[in-house]
Amino acid sequence: MMSATLTICHAGSLSAAFAGVSKAFSAQHPSVQIVDVSVGSVALARRLATGALACDGYASADGLDIELMLKPAGLADYTIRFARGRMVLAYLATDPRAAGVDAENWYQKAVAQGVVIAGAHPFLDPGGYRAHLIMDLASRFYRIPGLYNSLLEHYMAPATGALGREFSFQFTYEHSAAAAAANNPAYRYLRLPDALDLSDRSKNATYAQARVTIPGLGRAGAAASVAIPASAVTWGLTIPRTATNVEDATAFVQVLLGPAGTAALQANGPAPITPAVVGRAEAARVPKAIKGLAIE
């Protein structure tokens, strides 16, 4: 009997957690072969939209990628928000350029001569455009004209090399930074004010003062560009309309949203949203087998 294939496309920030979810799924569905595709969420969305990649499940580091890109292009019917987190500023304690950095002076350290801030490309990855959004919000929060441009001049994407050599600071997800710190005693990170770190959903109206515009999906009928407002960090998932293995994709989502998935997220990050949430207007479009979702 030929095994079924299930292609799960997900953000790189979910790799550790999804390894656990895939293991639990495979124990329940041994005849299903999982094809794991991990890359920047926006890059994944573009490949999905142009037919270069077939995804049975799509999990993004930003639920807005589904809301603002896949849905308008007719590729998705709903967004399930299943995890949350925050952005932090990472550095090495051994790097003299980061000496004395804290949550109050970080932006002064970051614009010092010769300092490079590393990050992903904003056109390819939510981590990249979130870095730009944080820099914009910092200019507003500290009320320093030109701070956004000054920070932007020090930002390098895509990031290359190693923290502490080619670059001194990096905006990243807290769970990713915590994992790196567990493996490297010199690796440190600091939490920014909650007005900047995109951790508080009650501040979404304030966060949304900052936005970035990225190219659209390159698909007929899709917008040429998409404006993405800053919002609290949440991971979202959907089963695309183009999925060819909806049954197993639904079963995978059941595992992700169940005890095994919650445990994998708690162990590796990002933090699970329990129960996961879906918009009221789209709740009826979610597969019936996925039960217990909260309604936004």
Instruction: Please check the confidence at residue 178 and state whether its pLDDT lies above 70.
Output: yes
**Across the strands, what pairs with 58?**
9, 238
What's residue 1's pLDDT?
A: 44
pTM of the model: 0.95
Question: Which domains does the chain possess?
Answer: 4-85+233-295 (3.40.190.10), 87-206 (3.40.190.10)
Instruction: Please check the confidence at residue 130 and state whether its pLDDT lies above 90.
Output: yes
Q: What are phi and psi of 292, to 5 degrees?
A: 85, 15
pLDDT tens, residue by residue, 15-33: 999 999 999 999 999 999 9
Mean pLDDT of 128-134: 97
Select, from the ranges 94-98, 196-200, 215-219, the one with the highest average predicted confidence (pLDDT): 196-200
What's residue 221's pLDDT?
A: 78
Instruction: Please check the confidence at residue 291 and state whether its pLDDT lies above 90.
Output: no
pLDDT tens, residue by residue, 264-273: 999 999 999 9
